Amino acid sequence: MVLSAAIDKLPADYRAVVVLRDVEGLSHREIAETLGLTVVNVKTRVHRARLFLRKQLDAHLSGMCAPLAPRGHDQFSFTNRREKFFERASSPR
């Protein structure tokens, strides 16, 4: 599982707080008391761990999924919408 592998890559300090918070559901205060940290330190570690996990998952998913259309040519791009607007505006009615 990709998430488990990403969690395993976390440094132990970050892994402990993210597991206690997101898996076990402990509050920041409970984690701080359990690990002998300040609440601010726990919040910082949880935030950094989540950023690391997000980056790992994003890298994995971007490697798996090919874009549906080249950049700038999909139906939602601003350039494409702007061009279509001007084509409609300049065409005779």
**Domain locations in the chain?**
2-90
Q: CATH for 2-90? A: 1.10.10.10
Give pLDDT, residue 31: 98
Q: How far is Cα 28 from Cα 26, in angstroms, rounded to an integer?
A: 7
Whether the Cβ atoms of residue 43 and residue 28 lie closer than 8 Å to each other: yes
pLDDT tens digit string along 41-65?
999 999 999 999 999 998 888 877 5
Q: Which residues contact 30 (CB under 8 A, 6 or more apart)?
A: 20
Angle between helices 39-64 and 2-9 (to 10 degrees): 130
- Model-level pTM greater than 0.75? no
Give pLDDT, residue 87: 60
Residues in the chain where the model's pLDDT stays below 50: 66-78
